[in-house]
Structure 1
């Protein structure tokens, strides 16, 4: 058993798919399969249940994964701590976020102030963010959805008002404010389940006693306003974005949404007990100050 085989196992366990794991690791599938088979032989138990080409982590694999995640995260923390102790303050920091639009400006200003720090960004779903954070693959996650996982700490950074966007020429266009009752029967452009816009839409329509009619389901939240402008339906978005120059190029009308809880809560997540490098601390402080600032 060596570190390489443990890292390979970690990625295969996350994907439960040899081809996808091999693609991420940039290794040949047969080589990866042999590595996993040798690891199982060393341990004396199968780690996956195999059904043709499909594999699923079994109870042995799930128990082993928890230990492997912890061990590899500790080793990565040790590397960062030693780098700081040796005076190598340039360092690196990694962040996963559901959308990179939110962090574009803070990252740009951080790099300008700390040109020696390597910043790595990943766009991911809440589930993948929680996994990467638990595995120690990223230092922080920025999410509007609640991330579930053992040992994850968080800090609320921003509560921002959510507005509604409607196509130009829509019956509601030109109004300053709408209520949920005004949206009865309206087709909605939203994200797939698990992303904050969809969670918010489902809750607001349910609380209003209305049916959510999904006209267009997307992965990238910022694409929603493009589809609204194309006339596919109405859509929700942060007020600052719907009124920003970035969104002004799209033909749509932003309206204030008078509905209880029509807001987005942005939280920063980290792994409790993990070593935070000097570079990561500086990045966290910069990001927090940038996002919290009025």
Structure 2
């Protein structure tokens, strides 16, 4: 049993699919299968249940994965701590976020001030963010949905108003504010389930006793505004973005929502007790300063 086989097992366990794991690891599928087979032989138990070409992590695999995640996270922390001893010349920091638009400017300024630090960014759903954080794949997660899991801590960066984007010429365009009653029957451009815009829309419509009519499902805020501008429907968005120069390039009208709870809470998460390198601490400080006043 070696570290490489443990890391391979971790990726296979995450995908529960040999070929997808092999693609991520950039190795041949037969080689990965042999590595997993050797690991199971060393342990004396199967880690996966095999059903034809499909595999599923079994109870032995789940128990082993918890220990592997913990062990590899400790080793990754040790590597970061040693790298930290060399200062900011060869450091690294990684962040997963629901959208990368939010972090563009602070990341740009951080890289300019610390060119020796390798910055890695991942766009992910809340579920994937939580998994990456628990497995030690990222230092931080930036999320508007609450991330749940043992050992996760967070700081609230900003609590901001959510506005309604409507197409120009729409009956609600130009209004100072609207209520949920005004949105009865309106088609809505929103995100896939599990992302904060969709969660907010579902909650506001349910609390008002209205049906949410989804006209279009998107992943990125900028795409949503394009679809609103095209006339597919109305859409919810954070005030900072709907009033930003990025959104100003797209013709639409931003209207206030006279609705209790129409807000977004942006939080920065990390693992409690995990080693935070000097580069990561400075990156966290930069994000906190930039987004808290955004």
Rounded Cα–Cα distance in structure 1 between residues aligned with 2:128 and 2:87: 33
Alignment-derived partner of residue 110 in structure 1: 110
SS in 1 for 2:138: coil
| Distance (whole Å) between structure 2 residues aligned to residue 52 and residue 162 of structure 1 | 48
- Cα distance, 1:117 vs structure 2: 1.1
SS where residue 194 of structure 2 aligns?
A: coil
Deviations 1:45-66 (A, max 9, x none): 1111111222111111111111
The whole-number CA distance in structure 2 between the counterparts of 1:110 and 1:93 is: 11
Q: CA deviation at 1:89?
A: 4.7
Q: Equivalences for 1:59-98 in 2 at 5 Å?
A: 59-87=59-87, 89-98=89-98
- Paired residues, number: 294
In structure 2, how many angstroms separate the alpha carbons of the residues matched to 1:274 and 1:205? 40
Deviations 1:115-171 (A, max 9, x none): 111111111111111111111111100011111222111111110110000111111
Quote the residue 1:226 is aligned against. 226
Unaligned runs of 5+ in 1: none
Q: Does the CA-based 8 Å contact 2:48-2:56 persist in structure 1?
A: yes
* CA deviation profile, 1:175-231 (whole Å, cap 9, x unmatched): 111011100000101011010000000000001110001111122233111111111
Match of 2:29 in 1: 29
**What residue number does 1:201 align with?**
201
What is the rounded CA distance, in whole Å, between the counterparts of 1:89 and 1:105 in structure 2?
22
Query: Residue 163 of structure 1 aligns with which residue?
Result: 163
Confirm or deny: 8 A CA contact 1:166 1:233 kept in the other structure.
yes
Where do 1:203-218 residues align within 5 Å? 203-218=203-218
Kindly report which structure 2 residues correspond to 1:43-192, keeping only aligned pairs within 5 A, or say none.
43-87=43-87, 89-192=89-192
In the TM superposition, residue 21 of structure 1 has moved relative to its aligned partner by: 1.0
Q: Please say if residues 177 and 257 of structure 2, whose CA atoms lie closer than 8 Å, have aligned partners that are also in contact.
A: yes
Q: Contact (CA 8 Å) 2:215, 2:232: kept in 1 or not?
A: yes
User: Does the Cα contact within 8 Å between 2:163 and 2:238 map onto a contact in 1?
Assistant: yes
CA distance in 2 between partners of 1:222 and 1:23 (Å)? 30
Shift of the 102–86 alpha-carbon distance from structure 1 to 2, 3 Å rule, reads: closer
Q: Say whether the 8 Å CA contact 1:97–1:124 is kept in structure 2.
A: yes
1:261 Cα offset (Å): 0.6
